[in-house]
Amino acid sequence: KPLQTLDAIHLQAALTALIEQHDALRLGFTQQDGQWQATFGALNTRDLLWVHELDSIERLPELADEAQRSLDLKNGPLLRALLVNLPQG
């Protein structure tokens, strides 16, 4: 069990630093004539972190699936983090 709660502001700052440091996380991919092309997108850290309050852990897989579906190889983001607060901590 964690000794303290994870702060969304610090987690967002860490994700932003990660995206700034690693150019590959800003790539977008398109397929033309059977060939994949990679292009660098603009730095966009909006919506990298989703913060949710859940009543029970049973809804966590559904939320994880939603986050996975939100990833977009063409336009980004290639990375998304979930910070989930549960009643039991």
Domain spans of the chain, in order of start: 45-89
- 39-68 in b/e form (b: 16+ CB < 10 A) is eeeeeebeebbeeeeeeeeeeeeeeeeeee
Give the per-residue pLDDT at 24: 92
Per-residue pLDDT of the chain (89 residues; tens, 9 = 90+): 677 888 999 999 999 999 999 999 999 999 999 999 999 988 887 889 999 999 999 999 999 999 999 999 998 889 999 999 988 76
